[in-house]
Amino acid sequence: MKKNYRKPTQRTEKAADQPNELMRLNRYIANAGVCSRREADKLIEGGQIKVNGKVVTELGTKVKRSDKVKYQGKVLNPEKLVYVLLNKPKDFITTTDDPQDRKTVMQLVANAAEERIYPVGRLDRNTTGLLLLTNDGELAERLTHPSYEIQKLYQVDINEPITDEDFIKIENGVVLEDGAAPVDEIGLVGPERTSLGISLHIGRNRIVRRIFEHLGYEVIRLDRVMYAGLTKKDLSRGKWRYLNKAELIKIKHLGRKK
């Protein structure tokens, strides 16, 4: 049976591994997402760009990737920013590399970008659903920091019908060994009471599984169906796509402190 993932393809040495490679300053600025190359030329001519602490105004200037280029006091990243949304299947681990040679999510997005993207947060091996991968370190930090309260929605299937008492306990927030586990909302999916939707913004390790295990339930299936306003619409299991402009604007707006 053919596996549903590809191994990473062999590529030429990546730009990130060539810090002394020369590139035009306007391209460096454009790759950092500031503006187009033509607009970058205007910034350079206007004396708004500093390279290694010095204002540069000459068009056609070339810089190294290792140089420190600043615009409005902010250090620029010369890599094009990439945002990939993956619908993670079961049995893939959320890591960029695995010494035990297990399947990783990076195999699923091997052809998504030349840039080095990496997962934002984690989904454990048996959890499926939405996972964002990017090389935007600033956004990744905001989306994973507790103070930004990024919301996640999961569908949970458990081994036996949940009781009214336990439903209310989860709704009110159970207390685990590392503290309270508040949820934003919980609801039943279907009449069997073994499938539930749970929305929360805390991001502690295996938090959803631990909530149900704390009350004596076994989690049979756990699927993240929404992350930071992003959904799985038109994204089948094991497939990925780039964020569109509207989604990118939305997720960057969400990544602001409450």
Q: What's 15's DSSP letter?
A: G
Helix (H) or strand (E) run with residue 179 in it: strand 179-181
Q: Given its phi and psi angles, is residue 90 left (phi above 0), alpha (psi -120 to 50 degrees) or beta?
A: beta
Choose, from 124, 157, 166, 184, the residue flagged as catalytic: 124
Both structure tokens of 246: 């509207």
Q: How many C-beta atoms lie closer than 10 Å to residue 122's C-beta?
A: 16
Q: Side chain identity at 127, as an amino acid letter?
A: T
| Sign of the torsion formed by the C-alpha atoms of 19, 21, 25 and 31 | negative
Both structure tokens of 3: 């596996």
- Kindly report each contact of residues 203-208 with a partner whose C-beta sits within 8 Å and lies 24 or more positions away, as own/partner: 203/121, 203/144, 203/146, 203/150, 203/152, 204/178, 205/122, 206/124, 207/181, 208/154, 208/156
> How many separate helices (H) and strands (E) can be counted in the chain?
7, 17
**Known catalytic residue: 41?**
no
- Round to whole Å and give the CA distance between 7 and 101: 12
**Does residue 97 sit in helix, strand or coil?**
coil
End-to-end CA distance of the chain, in Å?
Answer: 48
Active site residues: 124
